[in-house]
A = this chain, B = another copy of it.
Amino acid sequence: MEALHNVQFRLASRPVGLPTDSNWQRISEPVRDLADGEVLVKTQYLSLDPAMRGWMNDAKSYIRPVAIGEVMRAGGIGEVVASKSPKFAVGDIVTGGLGVQSYWTGAADDRSAALAKIDTRLAPATVWTNTLGMPGMTAYFGLLEVGQPKAGETVVVSGAAGAVGQTVGQVAKQLGCRVVGIAGGKDKCDFVVNELGFDACIDYKAGDIRGGLKEHCPQGIDVYFDNVGGEILDTVLTRINMKARIVICGAISQYNNTTPVKGPANYLSLLVNRARMEGMVVFDYADRYHVAIAQLGTWLKEGKIKSREDVVEGIDQFPQALTMLFEGKNFGKLVLKVA
């Protein structure tokens, strides 16, 4: 058998602002032999997520930064193509922290990779990067555990056509809430309302977020699930109800700032409304992912919710694909098809 070659994208330098090609080093090297207990996984799909931008900074956060010279961290789906572990057999489809590379080699029980078999009969592999993957888990636990919506309440979610936002809104609809999305552009808003079944969607690119919230949230806002931060968060704060819950999941508008993060100037609305703003990180719910997968998988099968992915082909498209996230160019969960 010819030697397999592993194409990798390693972090070459830390970006200032939006990542550029010069931040990456593309390497092609032979795949090494397996030691006992190891497996070789051929990457099929990589999940591209806003959080990746944070991992590129040399800053204390909920996870250590990617080191210079290290393969870029990424979750993905792959096929076990060689195994010296009883844990996985050749042909198994797994999810895990494969990194931005075409092959992953390591111990079957490696904790940072956290490989786990998935059932592609329940849903296609791409859905396992989305509704049944980290974005879906983030949406499910962030909404239910932190947002705690009740039937009849109004839930607003930003990044509504994105990976996390689409599931937040659809789950909130299943719970009997009024759901209003915020997304960029008419096409995304049409999709969010017509395909995903949100009650309304506000196009932030059209400019009048405040007017949109006033029109579409006549009873005020009980839960705001924030993926974007910045001006949108600040505007939502002016329309929250008493005892509102704001879930801080991300702040994509701020990740490439070269100036300080814009703090929410209207945060004293929390005081006036006895409201709370609370952060969440999906990893905290790892021991209950199976619960969310079972529920979301059932709703998917029943056609009650949808999973929308935007697939870019070819590992060499990685640098360009990543920037799509920050320019709002992806339509649904952004996935890189590697093999």
Q: Which residues does A use to contact B, with CB under 8 Å?
A: 60-62, 229, 234, 248-251, 254, 260-281, 284
Does A279 lie within 8 Å of B273, measured CB to CB?
yes
Verify B278–A270 contact, CB threshold 8 A: yes
28 contacts between A and B (CB under 8 A): A60-B272, A61-B272, A62-B271, A234-B263, A248-B267, A248-B268, A248-B270, A248-B271, A251-B268, A261-B266, A261-B267, A261-B268, A262-B263, A263-B267, A264-B267, A267-B267, A267-B277, A270-B277, A270-B279, A272-B279, A272-B281, A274-B280, A274-B281, A274-B284, A275-B278, A276-B278, A276-B279, A277-B278
The contact of A275 among B61, B270, B275, B279, by CB within 8 Å, is B279
| B277 touching A276, Cβ below 8 Å | yes
Question: Chain copies in the assembly?
Answer: 2
Measured between beta carbons, the chain B residues less than 8 angstroms from A267 are 248, 261, 263-264, 267, 277
Do A268 and B262 touch (CB < 8 A)?
Answer: no
**Are A265 and B271 also in contact (CB < 8 A) when A276-B278, A277-B276 are?**
no
Nearest B residue to A254 by beta-carbon distance?
B268
Min CB–CB distance A329 → chain B (angstroms):
24
B262 touches A265 (CB 8 A): yes
**What's the dominant secondary structure at chain A's contact region?**
loop
Find chain B residues with CB under 8 A from A275 CB. 278-279
The distance in angstroms between the C-alpha atoms of A278 and B245, with both chains bound, is 9
A228 to chain B, nearest CB (A): 12
Please indicate the chain B residues that have their CB under 8 angstroms from the CB of A62 in the complex: 271-273
Q: A224 → chain B, closest Cβ, in Å?
A: 14
Are A277 and B277 closer than 8 Å at their CB atoms?
yes
A281 touches B277 (CB 8 A): no
Return A158 CB to nearest CB of chain B, in Å.
14
Given contacts A62-B272, A261-B266, A272-B279, 8 further A-B pairs with CB under 8 A are A60-B272, A62-B271, A229-B268, A250-B271, A261-B268, A267-B267, A270-B277, A277-B277
Across the interface, which residues of B come within 8 angstroms of A279, CB to CB?
Answer: 268-276
Considering the chains assembled together, what is the distance between the CA atoms of A334 and B167 in angstroms?
52
Q: In the complex, what distance in Å separates the CA atom of A238 from the CA atom of B270?
A: 20
**Shortest CB distance A163–B (Å):** 17
